[in-house]
Chains A and B, each alone.
Chain A
Amino acid sequence: MRHNVYLYILGMWVVSYLIRVLPLTLIRRQITNRTIRSFLYYVPYVTLAVMTFPAILSATQSPISGALALVSGLALAWFGGSLFQVSVACCAIVFVAELVIA
């Protein structure tokens, strides 16, 4: 079955907007359930980590350049690199590495 891309986008927008707007409009008090709060606190880190590895290894022409980007990205972010710096550094490392490998 062929899917309509605009319907996908509409669905993504509706669910994203509901997530963003519902707490802001409905909740006037702090969430008190400790487990729910802790779960929501950990979710972004786990999701981003699961998405990053091992996918970064297959995103590039060679797994070696992907691995180099992973290691340098982790190190740079650890030592305080900004979102922009880490992104650009990863791109630059892959570009240079693939020049050398190829």
Chain B
Amino acid sequence: MLGYFAVSIALGISARNAGMTAPQATIASALIMASAGQYIGFTLIAAGASYLEVVVMEAIANARYLLMSCALSQKVDSDLPLRHRLLMGLWITDEIFGVSVSVEGRLNPYYNYGMAAVATPGWALGTLVGVVLGNVLPVRVVSALSVGLFGMFMSIFVPPMRKNRVIAALVAVSFAASYAFNAISWFGGISSGMKIIILTVVISLGAALLFPVEGEEDGHAA
């Protein structure tokens, strides 16, 4: 959970770059708890995107939580009351999901609440530190911390590349397509948010049709 703090500082810096104030960024982190989703959201806010564009992109960026939520629905007691399900849904993050699915047997919701009690303040305070320190840190330090989020992304999508050749090929295709989108001026009128939506849907759908996933793999999307 310490990793949360360093990454959230980088997120705070990106929020500052997007022109957000410390309270805005801190509230966003405390509520949303999604690194990639918040990063995209902040980028779109900086670009003055429409509310609809931000909401659609947030749904795409956080689509993996849909899968994690599906997996957790199989992991908790089927008699678990609705209020616990509504509460647990607040804190489905990459790390909390990763830890909670590794629990033996049925998942006790208080296990998730305990993790959330540690992760949420760390995430929100780290973001606050990023926004505040981003104003006084030298340009070189801000530049260095800006790649922290990309490091986090890589640590999520690279390990599965080793075990799964389809994912390895998909990442290569995604890199190439993303680069081509930026390089070809014909696509110049398309915002970076729309670019991410279009490429994600096209490439993932193509992969789903060509290389459908067998049975038990869907729980590992963290």
Contact = CB atoms under 8 A, between A and B. Distances in A.
Contact of A9 (B32, B159, B182): B32
A28 B147 contact: no
- The main secondary structure of chain A at its interface with chain B is helix
Query: Which of the four size classes fits the interface of chain A?
Result: 35 or more
B147 A46 contact: no
Interface stretch (B84-92, B113-121, B127-135): B84-92
Query: Which of the four size classes fits the interface of chain B?
Result: 35 or more
Interface of A: 3, 5-9, 11-17, 19-25, 27-28, 30-31, 34-56, 59-61, 65-66, 69-70, 73-74, 77-78, 80-92, 94-95, 98-99, 102
- The main secondary structure of chain B at its interface with chain A is helix
Contact of B153 (A25, A31, A48, A60): A48
Contact of A24 (B51, B88, B217): B88
A86 B212 CA distance: 30
Given A12-B58, A16-B37, A42 B167 contact: yes
24 contacts: A12-B28, A14-B55, A16-B32, A20-B65, A25-B73, A25-B85, A30-B70, A35-B209, A43-B60, A43-B63, A45-B160, A46-B207, A50-B195, A51-B40, A52-B154, A59-B143, A70-B150, A77-B154, A82-B3, A83-B156, A84-B7, A87-B10, A87-B149, A91-B151
